[in-house]
Amino acid sequence: MKRLTNLTFAAGMVVALGMFFSSCEGPAGPAGIAGVNGKDGVNGKDANATCTQCHNSSNIIETKTLQLDNSIHFFGTTVAEASRAGCAPCHSSQGYLDVIANSPFYNNYSVKNVPSNPSPVGSCYTCHNIHQAYDSTDWSFTGGAAFNMLIDSTIHLDLGEKANVCARCHQPRPVSPKPNLTTPTATMTIGSYRFGPHYGAQSAIFAGKGAFEFQGSIAYIQGQHNGMACADCHMGETDGIYAGGHTFNMANAESGSDNVAVCQTCHVGLKTFDNNGKQTEIQGLFAQLETKLDTLLDKDGTGAYTGYTDIYDPNYNPNGRYKSSSTSSFTTAQKTYNASLPSLTITNTVAAAIVNFMLINKDNSFGVHNYPYAKALLQNTLENLP
């Protein structure tokens, strides 16, 4: 009945519109010649032959989904940052794909279209070409191509496609103002709390590229993990559903224990990530650099300089120290507190040392990613500080 009513209504409308138009147009001319026939379309895919390569009873999608539930890529809250064009490339699935499609080498890392309903990084569509060819070749990687690093666009980074897909996001952001080591003792002013390379410094340390390489007593050599893909360790054998595989976690998110199974294939008998005390050694050098920076930068004598680590969030750091622009989102208390501080004017050497400190800090593997490089960077930076 309802359908019939609608049809009747529609027919009435056609008549009414026809009358309306005919009242202001002249008579129609003769009909044109019939057009050439179009080409036959490409045959559709046979669902049985292609869809079932993935959609089948093997649980291939479900197991990965479950593992992703335990990955910060999926449950993390920083997808909220995707509302900004410059943050969306690394904090949302759509933003990542947008930048790959529109600026392949990340020279411009702003998205063209800010996603209004951002999906988390952990969506299958972020890393795999899901529903492109509609067959199992779609497991290939979206962001596998080499790219120019944000921190220094003259560095063309190619860690192989299985690692490039991660490294595009897990790379430091550009540092502004950029320290210039050709004039090490010249000064520069740091105007923002957010001076530094951002959080995801891993690919820089892993590849041994993008840091400020001071000359010193240790040569910059790359470690022997160079050539491995991030997934070779982070997505190795699963430890329950809390480490390995598509959790991307190295330590079991529930028990906290190190997922050393992936290391033991090469390091026979290794019990923790602190292989031969190398992490302890790197942490020791890192602590020395931190103490040194504190001494140099603690202008008001109230606490330690830990850079981005504790200045980012006003809730965690109401007394965040160096001057930020008054338009920043910091607390009133924080802004007032900081108004009394001098802005940070330091030498290029000290500024570069801050960046190196943050790169090691944000890499957060303390030597596992690239032990000889991390050691040289810390030691040589220490030697160059006053």
- How wide is the angle at C-alpha 363 spanned by C-alphas 358 and 368, nearest 5°? 135
215 or 276: whose CB is closer to ligand HEC?
A: 276
- How wide is the angle at C-alpha 99 spanned by C-alphas 95 and 103, nearest 5°? 165
179 or 236: whose CB is closer to ligand HEC?
A: 236
CB 193, min distance to ligand HEC, A? 12
Q: What share of the chain is helix, strand, coil (3-state, %, to 5)?
A: 40, 5, 55
Residue 115: is the preceding peptide bond cis (ω within 30°)?
Answer: no
CB 279, min distance to ligand HEC, A? 6
CB 59, min distance to ligand HEC, A? 10
173 or 323: whose CB is closer to ligand HEC?
A: 173
Counting Cβ atoms within 10 Å, is residue 46 exposed (0-12), middle (13-18) or buried (19+)?
Answer: exposed
93 or 349: whose CB is closer to ligand HEC?
A: 93
323 or 369: whose CB is closer to ligand HEC?
A: 369
- Strand 147-148, strand 187-190: pairing: unpaired
Determine the 3-state secondary structure of 275 from DSSP: helix
For residues 172, 98, 110 and 194, what is the CA-based torsion angle, rounded to 10 degrees?
Answer: -40
Q: How far apart, in whole angstroms, are the C-alpha atoms of residue 370 and residue 374? A: 6
CB 346, min distance to ligand HEC, A? 24
71 or 347: whose CB is closer to ligand HEC?
A: 71
CB 386, min distance to ligand HEC, A? 31
102 — phi, psi (to 5°)?
-105, -20
348: CB partners within 8 A, 6+ apart: 179, 180, 181, 183, 184, 185, 186, 187, 188
CB 294 within 8 A of CB 306: no
CB 322, min distance to ligand HEC, A? 18
64 or 335: whose CB is closer to ligand HEC?
A: 64
- Please give the structure tokens belonging to residue 255: 């028990």
The DSSP bridge partners found for residue 188 are 346
CB 370, min distance to ligand HEC, A? 9
CB 354, min distance to ligand HEC, A? 18
85 or 181: whose CB is closer to ligand HEC?
A: 85
**Residue nearest to ligand HEC as judged by C-beta position:** 76
